[in-house]
Structure 1
Amino acid sequence: MFGYRVPSPDEAMLISGGRRGLGGAPFRVVTGHGKFVLPIFRKTRFLSLAMSEAEVVEKCVTRQGISLTVRAVIAFKVGNDTESIVNAGQRFLSDQDQMSVLTGRIFAGHLRSIIGSMTVEEIVTERQKLAAEVLDTSKAEMAKIGLIVDSLQIQSIDDGATGYIDAMSAPHKAAIQRQAQIAQAQATQASTQAEQEAQRNQAEYARQTAVVQAQYKAEIDRAQAAAAQAGPLAQAHAEQEVLMARTELAERAAELRQQQLVAEVVKPAEADAERIRVMAIAEAERMKIQAEAAASYDRVALDRMLIDQLPQIVKEAASGLAGANVNVLNGADGLGEIAAGLVGQGLTILDSVRRNLGTPDGETKQPGGDIQRYLGAASSPVDGGNAAKRSGDDGPVDIR
């Protein structure tokens, strides 16, 4: 459309004429969108925001006084903010190629300054540190002209004909060569050992093969010999089995005959002996029972006879007291005591008869004779004077 201008994505459109821009700039900055520009009254210019590159090849002197040629590459661009665009536009809008030249010169100066404070060893081994220090020292200066640095790369460091860097690397080269030689020797040794081990393994395999073959041959020979002897051995085994079967049959016949003898002779004899023993025990038991029964019958008869004669014994004992002068001192109790004494005397006579029933030669006495003897002793007359003397009294005592 007529009068409408749009900048590219990597450009900034600078419109001069009319109002001033930010911070009193003589132009206004437009990025990322279009804008109407009045013809004749306004003028439009474009500033590139794309990445640019500057190469620096500078001869520098280190802190040790050694001259080095350093090659570096700087990647830079105009800042995206309005202030950076204004600063860069005022300096490089008419000749934008001057940005690379000026940037190279600025970095060459800072590179000489930083390298002058470092040793060759530090520069060679710490290139990243060198680049970081150069960027830090140049950042403020680059910002003043509206530029920002994206990266700084140290491409090469050359000491010319001095050979310092080569001499510095000589120990490392020697160590690397020594390690390489050691590694080569170890590899050769390992290869030799592997080859010898392979030869030993082959010899061992050959020996094992020969041993196995000999074992196989021995087994074949044994099998052939066994096959040749199989016929006679089988015949001998068959005859041996026949003999064993006959022996076993004879043993079984002997055992059967022994069992028959036991059943026909030994068992009947044992049964007869047991029967005789049982009959003898039964006969002895019968005789013992009969003897005990007879003895028990005689004692029962004797006891019954004594019991039948007991009243007669008491009567005879009482008749001995007839006519005796007996004074009763304690009334009815005294009479009871006299009666109890008579009965006790009769019982004593009964016990004496029982104890004297047996004779020394084991014969039993006739109970009648002993009873008559005791009855005669009990019925002897007792006079009054003797009775009084036995009682310990001098005469009758009156009971008051």
Structure 2
Amino acid sequence: MFGYRVPAPDEAMLISGGRRGLKGAPFRVVTGHGKFVLPIFRKTRFLTLAMREAEVTESCVTRQGIVLTVRAVIAFKVGNDTESIVNAGQRFLSEQEQMSVLTGRIFSGHLRSIIGSMTVEEIVTERQKLATEVLETSKAEMSKIGLIVDSLQIQSIDDGDTGYIEAMSAPHKAAIQRQAKIAEAQATQASVEAQQEAARNQAEYERQTAIVEAEYKAEVDRVQAQSAQAGPLADAHAQQEVLAAQTELAERAAQLRQQELVAEVVKPAEADAQRIKTLALAEAERMKIQAEAAASHDRVALDQLLIDQLPQIVKEAASGLSQANVNVLNGADGLGEVAAGLVSQGLTILDTVKQNLGTPAATGPASPAPRAPHDDDGTVPIR
């Protein structure tokens, strides 16, 4: 709108003409809002409130008489209150760039004054103390011209060619270098120890890995060996079982053959030998009877007849024995007992015949000669 003016956020609008401002100032101050200004009758000017910078490079003499070149940077601005704006506007409104020049000069004077009361060691080691003292001494003077200082930084301190600062720092440099070398040596030692520890760990890991691999390989080889031996072992066990079965079968066949030989050869041979023995005994008995008959005068003829018949009787008995199913319970001794029984039966028959002949003949037919007792199945029992 025509005649309506608005200042920027970092500006103060100064309106001159008409009523006076604060404390008789020749202008009114407007910040943060607009204002209707009558053309021709009112005049509007703007004062910056933005941050400004001033650099100071000053040669100062310390309390020790040593010349130092100090470089500092001051950050300042116009105060936000109306009084500061009025003070700054009355001094710098037409030439606002002069604020930096005047601020630098003010700080140069205070900087020379404060450094002159300090030693080089204090200035070098206590820069913040120097900056604080400079700010405190310049605050009142800066506020009179409407400026406030936000910060003061001492950027550098140089003693030129005197070498004082360097000499002052030599022990510290030596100590720092010594500490640096110690730290470097410690770092190198720590690095070497770390490398050695890493190498030991790597070696231990490789050893453990080799052990595990060897155990795995041994286990695999053992399983493979067992697997490879399983077939031959199974075949060997099978062959062993077959041989055992064949051996058992052969033993049983041998036992059976032995029994067959006993039944086919031994027993018939023993029976034949016993028969021959029985015949021999009978023959001997016959000869004995013949001898007794020769000595007897009464019954020579009858005894001769009986003697002649006795071998036939015994032969018949022996023939019956050969055809009978004889159960021999105790081997050759049993066969001897059988033969002795036959001879005894033959002699018994002979005695019976003799007794019958010595007694008067009975009426009726003569009784048949007694036979040797047999079992129902035709076998002759052993008594």
SS at match of 1:9: coil
Conservation of the 8 A alpha-carbon contact between 1:70 and 1:157:
yes
Is 1:86 equivalent to 2:90 in the alignment? no
Listed one character per residue, the Cα deviations across residues 278-314 of structure 1 (whole Å, up to 9, x for unaligned) are xxxxxxxxxxxxxxxxxxxxxxxxxxxxxxxxxxxxx
Listed one character per residue, the Cα deviations across residues 258-295 of structure 1 (whole Å, up to 9, x for unaligned) are xxxxxxxxxxxxxxxxxxxxxxxxxxxxxxxxxxxxxx
1:146-295 aligned within 5 A: 146-161=146-161, 162=163, 163-164=166-167, 166-167=169-170, 168-233=172-237
* TM-score, reference length from structure 1: 0.51
Conservation of the 8 A alpha-carbon contact between 1:5 and 1:37:
no
Cα distance between partner residues in 1 of 2:57 and 2:149: 18
Cα distance between partner residues in 2 of 1:165 and 1:37: 68
Opposite residue 74 of structure 2, the aligned amino acid is I
Cα distance between partner residues in 2 of 1:14 and 1:172: 58
Is 1:36 equivalent to 2:37 in the alignment? yes
Listed one character per residue, the Cα deviations across residues 72-120 of structure 1 (whole Å, up to 9, x for unaligned) are 2111111121111111122222322111011011112222333344454
Conservation of the 8 A alpha-carbon contact between 2:53 and 2:76:
yes
1:91-110 aligned within 5 A: 91-110=91-110
Listed one character per residue, the Cα deviations across residues 33-77 of structure 1 (whole Å, up to 9, x for unaligned) are 2232352x5444332222211111123344555443222211111
* Identity value in percent: 63
CA drift of 1:8 comes to 3.4
CA drift of 1:125 comes to 4.6
Listed one character per residue, the Cα deviations across residues 173-193 of structure 1 (whole Å, up to 9, x for unaligned) are 431342123212321332244
SS at match of 2:69: strand
The alpha-carbon distance between structure 1 residues 84 and 68, as it changes in their structure 2 partners (threshold 3 A), is: same
Aligned to 1:55: 55
CA drift of 1:23 comes to 1.0
Any gaps of 5 or more consecutive residues in structure 1? 241-400
Listed one character per residue, the Cα deviations across residues 193-248 of structure 1 (whole Å, up to 9, x for unaligned) are 423542454355335534543454344334444542334546878989xxxxxxxx
Cα distance between partner residues in 2 of 1:175 and 1:63: 32
The alpha-carbon distance between structure 1 residues 229 and 106, as it changes in their structure 2 partners (threshold 3 A), is: same
Cα distance between partner residues in 1 of 2:36 and 2:159: 56
Is 1:68 equivalent to 2:52 in the alignment? no
Cα distance between partner residues in 2 of 1:53 and 1:138: 16
Cα distance between partner residues in 1 of 2:104 and 2:232: 109
Aligned to 1:139: 139
Cα distance between partner residues in 1 of 2:7 and 2:222: 103
Aligned-pair RMSD on alpha carbons?
A: 3.4
1:221-370 aligned within 5 A: 221-233=225-237
Any gaps of 5 or more consecutive residues in structure 2? 246-383
CA drift of 1:156 comes to 2.6
Conservation of the 8 A alpha-carbon contact between 1:159 and 1:165:
no
Conservation of the 8 A alpha-carbon contact between 1:76 and 1:148:
yes
Residues 68-77 or 139-148, more deviating: 68-77
Cα distance between partner residues in 2 of 1:6 and 1:212: 90
CA drift of 1:5 comes to 4.2
The alpha-carbon distance between structure 1 residues 219 and 26, as it changes in their structure 2 partners (threshold 3 A), is: closer
